[in-house]
Amino acid sequence: MNLTPKLPKGIRNNNPGNLRAACWSKSRTHLNDGFATFDTMHEGLTNLACCVWQFYDHLKLNTVASFVSRYAPASENDLYAYEQFMAHWMGMGWGGANFSDTELYNVAKAQRWIAGIVRIENGVPSPSMKRGHEWCSNAEILSAMTESGYWGAP
């Protein structure tokens, strides 16, 4: 009997945001049940950073609800739970679910938003995986954000 915990799909696919293939993809992607599969976790994080930028800056999805409803469709997710988690994760409380005009242009806040997506999409690593409490370190997320070309070096 194998007692090793099964990794979440997003981690197995090097796609911690569980992204679908998209035209803004920065890397060669493969599909696995409709989800993009990247060669490395760094590529997956970089594409997630690109997606966050595209949604926030180009599509002007500047509320938790508008971002989540586009990012995590209701056909696959509990939108209320996703929105509640992300608002709480960002320290907004449910009453403060709107981003300020420049909130996700701030590197630290965008980094936290990306970390929240990774957390809700993949859960918390089990202690036996020796990953700590997160799948990706802040340094890994910052590196991917910088490589995306949308945020300068912090």
CA pair distance 105, 111, nearest whole angstrom: 10
User: Between these two residues, 82 and 102, which has the higher pLDDT value?
Assistant: 82
Write out pLDDT tens, residues 44-53.
999 999 999 8
pTM for the structure as a whole: 0.86
Within the chain, what is the greatest distance between any pair of CA atoms?
53
In the chain, where are the structural domains located? Answer: 9-148
Tell me 73's DSSP state: -
